[in-house]
Structure 1
Amino acid sequence: MASSTPRATPKSGRQRDKAWKYGIPGSKKGEVTCTECTKWMTGGINRLKYHLAQIPGYGVEECSKSTPEIIREMKAILAENDMQKEERQKTKEAMVAAMNPTLSTSGPIGHTRGRQSLSSFGDNEGEASRTRVRSNPNFFVPHNVPGAQPSLEGTGWNREKHEQTKIAASNFWFYNNLSFNAANNVYWEGLVNALTVAGKGFKAPTCHDFSGPLLETTVKNTQVVVDDQKRYWKRKGCNILSDGWTNGRNRTLLNFLVASNGAMVFLKSIDASNEIKNVETVCNLLDGVVQEVGVENVVQIITDNEATYVFAGRMLMERHPTITWNPCAAHCLDLMLEDIGKIGWVKKVVEDARSVTKFIYNHTWVLALMRKHTNGKDVVRPEVTRFASHFITLQSILSAISHLK
């Protein structure tokens, strides 16, 4: 019999778990009360799942009031969580291998931690036990295992040599005009750690190495990550995104990307400069990509709102009834802003604002005076499209109207 205690509104992101409909969070973190048998426990929502699923061995008693439906539901949730953890771990390991194949998680650098085996995650028709093993590979070489960077006392490096190394790195950075934010890139830390492990005698890769064998190795490692991602296309379906643009040589290029399981994969780019841009041609191009990914794997195709793509998308849906076509939301909003900008009084306001901004930015002393009163803020806010820029600039002018006056 379910408890009549009123449900508390979950506060944290973790409490959005499906199992919270059978639990009441306590006043302290990790406290929860089962709504079926009113048992109070600590350990959070995960322990409640084992309690409701009647799985022994996890420091909690089996729920005496749990129904077969609840047991199956909790076991399904636990199995799904286990599968997601394994998938995330495999993706992480593939990324580590792609970043630096020489750093292996199976040697002394990585380590594996075993977990107790879970009993029956199936329903009453069949039971299957599986051992949950969580790998915890270090993303970079740690400094407390054999083969890692020795201590300063062992190498004789001193503060002066460290400063010289930093200056050498900064010279490369500044000479190549690299962004300061690039130092936050995970690959930069991986490079530094790998260099400390390499030690004396390491020779810097040449231009030939980067454009030849190293590039080929990187392509192979990247392909491993992509192939691993393709597994989700069959299991969970995927969306195909098409983006067309024209480069500096007036070549019409079509990029195709595949989104699935929260990740995006660049599939390929097609040079459509020599193709006649009509409905049938675009439809055939989209159909070719669908065939490559697999008709049974594709859920929808997303393109921009040009008339050619609209009719091509409808034609494609006639060929493959299981696939839907949808316009790009960002392009829809851009077209809406364009149409709004054509309204008479709106167009007049945009033109007046443009005259004001032109006057300010064409006179140095006026621009300096404006920035003085606005604390260095600009009123012109360039965006991806000019229609969005117009309305963002109008908003900036409105917020700084008193300073402009």
Structure 2
Amino acid sequence: MFCGGATRIKEHLCDKCTDDSPEFLALKESLLGAKGEKGKTLAAKRAHDEVADSVAAGEAKAKAKLGQKSIQSSMYSGKSEACDKAIGEFFYGLNVGASKVSHPLFKDLVEALKTAPASYQPPTRQRMLGDLLEKTTDTLKAEERPVRGEVLKYGGSIISDGWDDVNSSHLINAVAKLLIEQITRIGPPMVVQVVTDTCSVMKAAWKLVETKFPWITCTCCGPHVLNLYLKDLGKIEEVAAVIKNLTRSPTPS
């Protein structure tokens, strides 16, 4: 709060309020028209309050228009943008597929880094190829040991998505080589058909297999095609409405 003459109050106004501006002239007129020192002081106070309210309202309006955030909110926003930038540069700089951001391993990595202390330092290349690699390998082997034991005891099938490897490199030659090696191991005359899914990598591998063994026919997986067909069928509006209204039967005790 400030009480004083028109000239003094003018110093508290914005730069646009020059000596001949309407705002300043109106303020000066109201002050000079006041009677007595008390009236002059009260008029100055009222004028100053009006100007202060006007300036405050203008600032509030400008902040609302610009969506100005608090200092803490701005800091968090800046840190989030820095994280996005670092992740984006890592993925695109190393040619890592963008789909990997939804991989559980990447999500686990992000969650682990959130709890890391400020003094944490990422492992060096020597550690990645040394004790850290050995520790990780031992852990994964221990987790798969029960499954591996069952497969070796009762048999099993090797299943691959057939798309790419961890470096997003296509596996056309690798898949074809794997199929050819297994056919050779079993005995080429004993194999007449190879059945896989219908992704582009598998279709390309078919040609390599059929070139190597002209009597072998490569075809798509019937159940896989049926699964895709049912999935598309379920997207039809009328079918989706029926599925949505279905209720699961209680499991018998």
Which TM-score band applies after superposition, normalised by the shorter structure? 0.3 to 0.5
Choose between structure 1 and 2: higher strand proportion.
1
TM-score normalised per structure 2? 0.37
* Greater Rg over alpha carbons, structure: 2
Choose between structure 1 and 2: higher helix proportion.
2
TM-score normalised per structure 1? 0.24
